[in-house]
Amino acid sequence: MPVPPRFDTLCNFRDLGGRRTVDGRAVARGRLYRSDSLAKLAGDDLTRFAALGVRTVIDLRYPWEIAERGRAPESLGVTWLNLSVEHRPYVQADIDPDVDPWRHLADRYAEVAEDGVVELREALEVIAHGEHPLVFHCASGKDRTGLLAALVLALLGVDDDQIAADFAATEEATGRLVAEFRERNGGASPRWPAYGRAPAEIIRLVLADLVAAHGSVRAYVTGRLGVGEETIAALRARLLTDHGKPDDDDTALWQAP
């Protein structure tokens, strides 16, 4: 399976495929991608994106973010779904530098897991029952996107270490995310010095919290989200393969410029 293209306009796009599951299978490549906002796609990147064969885009942002910054270009001809999973807005750039930032962000993710049950359930169902490649994204492809990616990988049987590695790959995009913030804010820097960071510790805290509260990620998904076992079976059938090798080098999954 060819690796995804390197995009000029996106900084946090990657394939969720390539991870090995605990039962010895592999997450198939070329079927599910995660990204920062596709509203930035332009120029030659439109052709590069179209070549992936994506037919469905799940946009996890607030409607007001979409109104302000746009959505995936309609010229792509994809089915576009807005599933706004976050219900308690906060300004990440203004996080108090004196608080524990990773615990603070993990608590915000917990709010999404608690509040966004309808949207998270629909996202998992759409991913499970799709017939073509699909991409999901938020603004930076870090927080809301990172939570959904972790849920999908956990349901597929990927262990916490690999989930954390996928999450932390966003660290490669931190510089671009900070630069984009400055461009949007007249050159001003974020108040929070760790803006755009995505250390593995955050998602490890989130996974541990879900296990502590529900017994397992799967129990959270079937219980709190109300996702049926048939949907989990469909997700696994769609995204797992008995072929392929695990990626020992995480950079093999990274396709940012």
pLDDT class for 67, splitting at 50, 70, 90?
very high
Which residues have CB under 8 Å from 242's CB, separation 6+?
25, 26
Q: Parallel, antiparallel, or unpaired for β 14-15 and 134-137?
A: unpaired
Q: How large is the angle between the packed helices 229-239 and 144-156, nearest 10 degrees?
A: 90
Rounded Cα gap, residues 169 and 37, in angstroms: 17
Rounded to the nearest integer, the mean pLDDT of the chain is 94
Question: Which residues 6+ apart lie within 8 Å of 13 measured at CB?
Answer: 4, 7, 33, 34, 35, 36, 135, 141, 255, 256
**What's the rounded Cα separation, in Å, for the pair 232 and 155?**
7
pLDDT score, position 115: 98
What's the whole-number mean pLDDT along residues 37-52? 98
CB 171, CB 197: distance < 8 Å? yes
pLDDT mean over 184-188: 96
Between 196 and 3, where is the model more confident?
Answer: 196
Range of weakest confidence among 110-114, 123-127, 215-219, 252-256: 252-256
Whether the per-residue pLDDT at 254 is higher than 50: the answer is no
Q: Which residues 6+ apart lie within 8 Å of 76 measured at CB?
A: 41, 46, 49, 50, 54, 57
Q: What is the pLDDT of residue 244?
A: 55
Contact at 8 Å (CB) between 161 and 144?
no
Give me the pLDDT at residue 4, please: 76
Q: How confident is the model at residue 18, as a pLDDT?
A: 95
Give the model's confidence band at 3: pLDDT under 50 very low, under 70 low, under 90 confident, else very high: low
Q: For the chain, how far is it from start to end, CA to CA, in angstroms?
A: 20
Nearest to 51 by CA among 97, 10, 103, 4: 4
Of 57, 83, 95, 138, catalytic: 138
Rounded to whole angstroms, the Cα distance separating 107 from 86 reads: 12
pLDDT given for residue 251 in this prediction: 38
3-class DSSP state of 42: coil
**11 classed as catalytic:** no
Nearest in space to 238 (alpha carbons), one of 132, 163, 143, 137: 132
**In degrees to the nearest 10, what's the CA dihedral of 170, 171, 173, 176?**
140
